[in-house]
Amino acid sequence: MQFAELGNRDGRTLLLLPGTACTWQLNFKNVLAALSERYHIIAVNYDGFEGDPRVLFTVVPRVIVSSFPYVS
């Protein structure tokens, strides 16, 4: 799983999980600038949506569970 940290590191943390069949870059491009001013953002790309043809998409529930270690 690939993720990016953006925004105000002193702000509360938001975990952005994109809808299916897209990347966080596509899913949140219209709101990232506004959210970045106030929040520390962790944005996730699911396996298979990272541009690496060797990584296959997995089922969404498995991806969500695998992101739990990043949330405290």
How many helices and strands (H and E) does the chain possess? 3, 3
- Using one digit for the tens of pLDDT, what is the confidence trace for 29-68? 899 899 999 999 998 877 666 665 665 556 666 667 777 7
pTM (whole model) above 0.85: no
* Residues of the domain holding 12: 2-70
Number of domains in the chain: 1
Distance between CA atoms of residues 42 and 55, nearest Å: 21
